[in-house]
Structure 1
Amino acid sequence: MNNIMDHSENNALTEADIVFVKTIPGLGVFELRSIDVEIDIKLIHNWVNRDYAVYWGMNGFSEQEVRNIYYSILEKAKVYIGEFNHKVTFLLECYNPQEDILGKYYESKNGDKGMHILIAPPEKSKSIPKFTWTIFTVIMDFIFSDGKNKRIVVEPDARNHKIHLLNKRAGFVFHKVLNLPHKQAYLEFCTREDYYNALQKT
């Protein structure tokens, strides 16, 4: 089974579905669109059941269980599919921490935006230098393109050292360790200024 879906010939998805586009000279075009659970679920199910996605918390889940979870997530959050040159390469969840359990564990502010990111299996992006970092910047650019979003809030699993390094590179500042019901997490913040300052250093 292919683990990156090609939508270049899928008539069910049109330009009207696209919410953000970023062209990187010499690399290609990144696009974000709203998830279509019925179209995208097989690919997402494939990803979340892989070892590298263990922190996503769905290893061993059936396709129907993953489908149900995403319909539930969509009741409170927005979920986007990221495509690179018309191939699905990442998943982004955006939510309001004030409407999430996370909001009970820190002093949330208007303008806070929470996010979760899942990138395609690494073997598909080995040939593209700094591909994960590039995807991360596309996501940050997308979130901060909305002037209402003043600060991005993340709560990655405390054991996920790779994402901590990526967050730090993007300007996230560690605040404290949280003991959430389902995990021990790092609470980290990144303002628009933090992010832009970090980009000047990369």
Structure 2
Amino acid sequence: MTDIRFTRTDARLGTFAVRDVDPLADAVTLHRWVTHPKAPFWLMQGASLTDVEREYMSIAASAHHDAYVGLHEGVPSFLVERYDPAHVELKGLYPAKDGDIGMHFLVDPAPADGPLHGFTRAVLTTVMAFLFADERIRRVVVEPDVRNTAVHALNEAVGFEVVEKIAKPEKEALLSVCTRASFQAAAAATQGGAR
């Protein structure tokens, strides 16, 4: 198993951690997540197990894209992808700045113990804390599908601001950014009881 890269303790939900994806060892779990009917915005609904293995081997080999499995109390529970938006996903679609990092995340759509209240927000907070743990990162950039209203609300809750609608080959997206200061302010507001 790969080493843990980051950990965070949530006062209510316990310990979250992030480790590298192992494209072969994690393929069955990732395939279940990315092809689940509740994960249509991941755009892998028809993917085979081999497709998933190849996708994550390709990411592992990339100089501009990384994938991680997120753990909750030691159990694989979410997927994170981090990418350089000047080279991947958003290349040529917005003016990338030094210190920008792109991100995707996916929570296990069918956890064995059922959903936990506030879990997805805790996952996104963990993902953002993980990304900003790298001092070189100044902004996190995302491009969710315009129809994904649930993630728009979550993004806003952790400090993202919508910049503009952009047309990508596979979707119309809401380009949104979150600065370190915006994330810290949102996290402080949550800890202060403003949920």
Q: Deviations over 1:20-66 (max 9, x none)?
A: 01123453211111110111000110111111110100001111011
Task: Specify the alignment match of 2:167 in structure 1.
Answer: 179
Task: Specify the alignment match of 2:142 in structure 1.
Answer: 154
AA matched with 2:117: P
Deviation, structure 1 residue 192: 0.4
Task: Specify the alignment match of 2:119 in structure 1.
Answer: 131
Given candidates 71, 75, 81, the residue that maps to 1:93 is 81
Deviation, structure 1 residue 155: 0.2
Instruction: Give ranges in structure 1 of 5+ residues lacking alignment.
Output: 1-12
SS in 2 for 1:147: coil
- In the alignment, the residues of structure 1 paired with residue 26 and residue 162 of structure 2 have an alpha-carbon distance, to the nearest angstrom, of 33
1:167 pairs with 2:167: no
1:192 pairs with 2:166: no
Task: Specify the alignment match of 2:101 in structure 1.
Answer: 113
- In the alignment, the residues of structure 2 paired with residue 106 and residue 193 of structure 1 have an alpha-carbon distance, to the nearest angstrom, of 21
Q: TM-score when scaled to structure 2?
A: 0.91
- In the alignment, the residues of structure 2 paired with residue 122 and residue 150 of structure 1 have an alpha-carbon distance, to the nearest angstrom, of 33
Deviation, structure 1 residue 166: 0.4
AA matched with 1:64: T
Deviation, structure 1 residue 125: 6.0
CA contact (8 A) 2:13 2:119 kept: no
RMSD (Å), alpha carbons: 1.5
Task: Specify the alignment match of 1:4 in structure 2.
Answer: none
Task: Specify the alignment match of 1:38 in structure 2.
Answer: 24
AA matched with 2:159: G
Map 1:23-62 → 2, pairs under 5 A = 23-62=9-48
- In the alignment, the residues of structure 2 paired with residue 156 and residue 96 of structure 1 have an alpha-carbon distance, to the nearest angstrom, of 16
Deviation, structure 1 residue 103: 2.5
AA matched with 1:156: P
Instruction: Give ranges in structure 2 of 5+ residues lacking alignment.
Output: 191-195
Once structures 1 and 2 are overlaid, which stretch shifts more, 63-72 or 24-33? 24-33
- In the alignment, the residues of structure 1 paired with residue 29 and residue 108 of structure 2 have an alpha-carbon distance, to the nearest angstrom, of 9
C-alpha change, 1:101 and 1:24, in structure 2 (3 Å) is closer
SS in 1 for 2:39: helix
Task: Specify the alignment match of 2:56 in structure 1.
Answer: 70
How many residue pairs get aligned? The number is: 188
Deviation, structure 1 residue 111: 0.2
CA contact (8 A) 1:125 1:131 kept: no
CA contact (8 A) 2:7 2:17 kept: yes
Please identify runs of 4+ aligned residues in structure 1 that moved more than 6 A: none
Q: TM-score when scaled to structure 1?
A: 0.88
Once structures 1 and 2 are overlaid, which stretch shifts more, 99-108 or 112-121? 99-108
